[in-house]
Amino acid sequence: MDAVIDIGSNSVRLMLDRGEAVAKKETATTMLAEGLNVNGTLSDAAMERTLSAVAGFFKEAAVAGAAKTYVFATEAVRSAANGAAFRARLEAAIGTRVAVLSAKEEARLGMLGVLGAPDKTGAVLDIGGASVELITGSPDKPDYSKSLPLGAVRVLDSAGTAYKGVARYVAREVKRFGRVSAKALTAIGGTATALASMALGQGTYEPAAVHGYLLEQDVLSALLKDIFSGGDLIARYPTLPVQRARVIGQGAVVLHCVMRHLGLKAVTVSEHDNMEGFLLALPL
Q: For residues 181 and 267, what is the distance between their CA atoms, to the nearest angstrom?
A: 14
Burial class (CB in 10 A: 0-12, 13-18, 19+), 3: buried
Exposure pattern of 193-218 as b/e (b: 16+ CB <10 Å)?
bbbbbbbbebeebebeebbebebeee
In this predicted structure, what is the pLDDT of residue 142? Answer: 96
CA 209, 262, 131 angle in degrees (round to 5)? 70
Residue 196 has pLDDT above 80, yes or no: yes
Q: What is the pLDDT of residue 15?
A: 98
Q: Contact 196/210 with Cβ under 8 angstroms?
A: yes
Q: How far apart are CA 84 and CA 7, in angstroms?
A: 14
Is the whole model's pTM more than 0.85, yes or no?
A: yes
> Averaged over 143-163, what is the pLDDT?
97
Average pLDDT over residues 231-259: 96
Q: What is the pLDDT of residue 284?
A: 73
pLDDT of amino acid 93: 97
Domains and CATH numbers, the chain: 2-103 (3.30.420.40), 117-269 (3.30.420.150)
CB 241 within 8 A of CB 154: no
Residue 23 has a pLDDT of: 93
Report CA-CA distances (Å) from 178 to 7, 136, 175, 262.
Answer: 29, 13, 6, 10
Q: Is the pLDDT of residue 48 over 80?
A: yes
CA–CA distance, 105 with 111 (Å, rounded to integer): 10
User: Confidence class of residue 128 from pLDDT cuts 50, 70 and 90?
Assistant: very high
Rounded to an integer, the average pLDDT of 203-224 is 97
Sort residue 73 into left (φ over 0), alpha (ψ -120 to 50) or beta.
beta
On the 0-12 / 13-18 / 19+ scale of CB atoms within 10 A, 121 is middle
Q: How far apart are CA 45 and CA 33, in angstroms?
A: 11
Q: Tell me what pLDDT residue 283 has.
A: 83
- What pLDDT shows up at residue 17? 95
pLDDT at 171 over 90: yes
- Residue 204's pLDDT is what? 96
Using CA atoms, how far apart are residues 169 and 166, in angstroms rounded to an integer?
A: 5
User: Could you report the per-residue pLDDT of 68-118, keeping only the tens digit for each?
Assistant: 999 999 999 999 999 999 999 999 999 999 999 999 999 999 999 999 999
